[in-house]
Amino acid sequence: SQTIHQWPATLVQPVGSPLSLECTVEGTSNPNLYWYRQAAGRGLQLLFYSVGIGQISSEVPQNLSASRPQDRQFILSSKKLLLSDSGFYLCACSGGNQPQHFGDGTRLSIL
Amino acid sequence: GEDVEQSLFLSVREGDSSVINCTYTDSSSTYLYWYKQEPGAGLQLLTYIFSNMDMKQDQRLTVLLNKKDKHLSLRIADTQTGDSAIYFCAESSTGGYNKLIFGAGTRLAVHP
């Protein structure tokens, strides 16, 4: 079965600093990968998804970008963080028509 | 556009049944899902149902799907304190790539 690793688990960053969150997947090959953000007390907003290496689709315009340098690696980045980037970031993975499975998330606080 | 709606809060007594409801808009959704989120954690897939099914049962969980009314429910029998969490309903998007549209989540509180 697939396992999704996210790190770090928590992160506190100043406004204007860069960001790099990493997600790696084990137990599957050529998965679809997803980044979601969950604002406090809210549902999930899909930020990016990827169906293969170097293939990134953005769902909403924002201050963030994503990259997929390897089949099972998905990275979420920003050059300059905004206060509004605070939230709980979740990476998810699915293969074919299988359900999405989620990592444990990264809680990002911007000061 | 695609939308999924859930009530935000449900409170039940320990040992009673809980029923969490969800409505969706995309009649062409192939699968519908229920996820559970405990405090500070990621989402755990609880169960899912194919759109040509009316019901699915898995131990204490029963999913009912009314495709005509676009209504999905999750029933938890003999609710325990460990069931306290946020429950998300999600539908598969017609946009492809197994994209999901999530509801805002229902917070289930179980009290003695």
Output b/e per residue, B76-97; b: 16+ Cβ within 10 A.
beebeeebbbbbbbbbbbeeee
pLDDT band at B75 (very low <50, low <70, confident <90, very high): very high
Confidence of residue A92 (pLDDT cuts 50, 70, 90): very high
Angstrom distance (rounded) from CA B74 to CA B21? 7
Q: Tell me what the mean pLDDT of segment B89-96 comes to.
A: 78
Cβ-Cβ pairs closer than 8 A, A with B, add up to 49
Give the residue on A whose Cα is nearest the Cα of B96: A97
Q: Please give the angle made by the CA atoms of B105, B109 and B112, to the nearest 5 degrees.
A: 165
Neighbours of A45 (CB within 10 A): 15
In the chain, the amino acid numbered A33 is L
| A67 interfacial to chain B (CB closer than 8 Å) | no
Segment A64-73 mean pLDDT: 96
Give which of A4, A102, A107, A109 to mutate to test B binding, by max B Cβ within 10 Å.
Answer: A102
CA distance B22 to chain A (A): 13
Q: What is the pLDDT of residue A42?
A: 75
Proportion of chain B above pLDDT 70, given as a percent: 95
Instruction: Give the gap in angstroms from C-alpha A68 to the nearest C-alpha of chain B.
Output: 16
Say which residue, A16 or B3, is predicted with more confidence. A16
Q: Are the beta carbons of A32 and B45 separated by less than 8 Å?
A: no
Measured at the CA of A38, the angle between CA B111 and CA A83, to 5 degrees, comes to: 125
Q: Is the dihedral of CA B78, B80, B83, B85 positive or negative?
A: positive
A16: left (phi over 0), alpha (psi -120 to 50) or beta: left
C-alpha count within 13 angstroms, C-beta hemisphere, residue B74:
30
Using the Cβ of A102 and the Cβ atoms of chain B, whether some distance falls under 8 Å is answered with yes
Mean pLDDT for the stretch of residues B61-78:
96
Strands A3-7 and A19-26: antiparallel
User: Given this model, what pLDDT does residue B22 score?
Assistant: 96
3-state secondary structure of B82: helix
How confident is residue B96, by pLDDT bands cut at 50, 70 and 90? low
pLDDT digits (tens, 9 = 90+) for A5-61: 999 999 999 999 999 999 999 998 899 999 999 987 778 999 999 999 999 999 887
